[in-house]
Amino acid sequence: MRKGFTLVELIIVVIIVGILASIGLTQYNKVVERSRASEARMILGTLRSGEVAENNESGNYLDVPGLGVGAPTACTTTHYFSYSCTTAGLCTATRCTSGGKSQNGTMGSWTKTLDVSGTWGGSAGF
């Protein structure tokens, strides 16, 4: 009797490993995107603090460059998001799909918002 695996057994193992790898890669991409969303939460919190301070001082809300926070208003190679604030105090982080830092196109573009009252919103659950 010969020792070893048959071709059918090897094909079944390769198929199982492929299925497990595809599931793992999908979950990995979600975890990576969730960690990248922490950048947006941190910078939006800083923008909110700046908006509240500006409103307390002058009674107005400013755009991102006026706050002096250092958040990019366009996609750059240093951030995963671009940021904007309205004159009503609503700040938005928009996920870059091109032109930004090490992009992953599988998740697409989505937004995260934070207003001056501390209410989160946006188009994704991250």
11-36, pLDDT tens digit by residue? 999 999 999 999 999 888 888 888 88
Give domain status of residue 67, yes or no: yes
Q: 75-105 pLDDT, tens per residue? A: 888 888 999 999 899 999 998 887 767 565 5
What is the rounded distance in angstroms from the CA atom of residue 47 to the CA atom of residue 116?
9
Length of the chain as a residue count: 126
Q: What is the CATH number of the domain that holds 109?
A: 3.30.700
Give domain status of residue 2, yes or no: no
Give domain status of residue 38, yes or no: yes
Collapse the DSSP code of 59 into the 3-class scheme (helix H, G, I; strand E, B; otherwise coil) and give the result: coil
Give domain status of residue 1, yes or no: no
Burial of 63 (0-12, 13-18, 19+ CB in 10 A): middle
Show the beta-strand stretches assigned E in the chain: 81-85, 91-95, 111-114, 120-122
Name the domain count of the chain.
1
Yes or no: say if 116 and 61 are a contact pair by the CB < 8 Å rule.
yes
pTM exceeds cut of 0.95? no
User: In the numeric block, which tokens belong to residue 52?
Assistant: 């509240």
Give domain status of residue 12, yes or no: yes
Give domain status of residue 115, yes or no: yes
Q: Provide, rounded to the nearest whole percent, the portion of the chain with pLDDT above 70.
A: 90
Residue 107's closest CA among 119, 122, 120, 95?
A: 95
Q: Which domain does 87 fall in, by range?
A: 7-122
